[in-house]
Amino acid sequence: MTDVIAFFPGQGAQHVGMLGDLVADYPVIRETFAEASDAINQDLWQLAQEGPAETLSITYNTQPALLTASVALWRVIQGACPALQVVAGAGHSLGEYSALVAADGVDFADAVRLVKKRGELMDAAVPAGQGGMAAVLGLEEDQIRAVCAEASAAGVVEPANFNAPGQIVIAGSMAGIEKAVELAKAAGAKRALPLAVSGPFHSSLMKAAAEEFGKALAAVAFRAPAFPVFHNVDNQPATLAEIPARLLAQLYSPVNWTGAVEATRSKAELAVEFGPGKVLAGLNKRIDKSLNTLSTGDAASVAAVISAIQGA
């Protein structure tokens, strides 16, 4: 049985119809969605299959739906490969919660309720139209930090996602974002464009949600994860007592996905992205071409993952 690094995607990986071609062969998918739907009294399977996309993309809908899809795919692979050996795990933003569920660090139903609340608080933290995010391609980390520092005279703007070398997302006020996009282009960015998101996620503007979310985290019973989960805030595993604080800080701190891959890379030669789409697989190629990252979003991909894990 092959050792595996388990990765779990964040917002942006969702799409209407996700997992639809797998459900007939893997009943655990519908069972997982039913369990999650019961936890928050919302039909997540209907949302995932029928949308509309605009509704699925609202952060307080995306988060429970995507967490559920990732956990469902985890359960599919775990069921087919009962001796699965995960040596490290990490998730991109929301995906950190999926990783903790997979590692048995938190009950699935609790995680669904947590991310629903997280999405509601993130959505309410900054009034609509006053904050956002933008992707900047082709600049180095130091250049991005310099751009944000200069643009902050116009309004709050900060690095939010270090997704891969030359692919960084910034977040902040609309005025700050607009100025940073202008400066990034002047600094030689290949592209700098606003993203279709509802708020300035992973920036200090999310601290408005922190107190209330801290209460939600304090009400949940966490357990020591069965495999090391590398947290976004420092790309290190946490002790049991540290997990809530790491999750809270993640709300308003940058996600360093490049660091996550570098921190886990030495643990195994095979990584699996448990979620719809191939977002992390694409980023991982830019970070470390030698790491084989397989996706699980469709029937052919699931079959390939099962074969790779079993060493066929």
Which amino acid does the sequence have at 3?
D
User: How far apart are the C-alpha atoms of 196 and 308, rounded to whole Å?
Assistant: 36
Single out the catalytic residue among 37, 70, 93, 295.
93
Give catalytic status of residue 93 as yes or no. yes
Single out the catalytic residue among 37, 98, 202, 301.
202
CB atoms under 10 Å from CB of 249, counted, come to: 15
Residue 235 Cα distances to 46, 103, 168, 203, 291, angstroms: 35, 16, 17, 18, 18
User: How far apart are the C-alpha atoms of 22 and 112, rounded to whole Å?
Assistant: 22
Length of the chain: 312
Task: Please state the three-class secondary structure of the chain as a single string.
Answer: CCEEEEEECCCCCCCCCCCCCCCCCCCHHHHHHHHHHHHHCCCHHHHHHHCCHHHHCCHHHHHHHHHHHHHHHHHHHHHHCCCCEEEEEEECCCHHHHHHHHCCCECHHHHHHHHHHHHHHHHHHCCCCCEEEEEEECCCHHHHHHHHHHHCCCCCEEEEEEEECCEEEEEEEHHHHHHHHHHHHHCCCCEEEECCCCCCCCCHHHHHHHHHHHHHHHCCCECCCCCCEECCCCCCCCCHHHHHHHHHHHCCCCEEHHHHHHHHHHHCCEEEECCCCCHHHHHHHHHCCCCEEEECCCHHHHHHHHHHHHCC
Catalytic residue numbers, as ranges:
93, 202
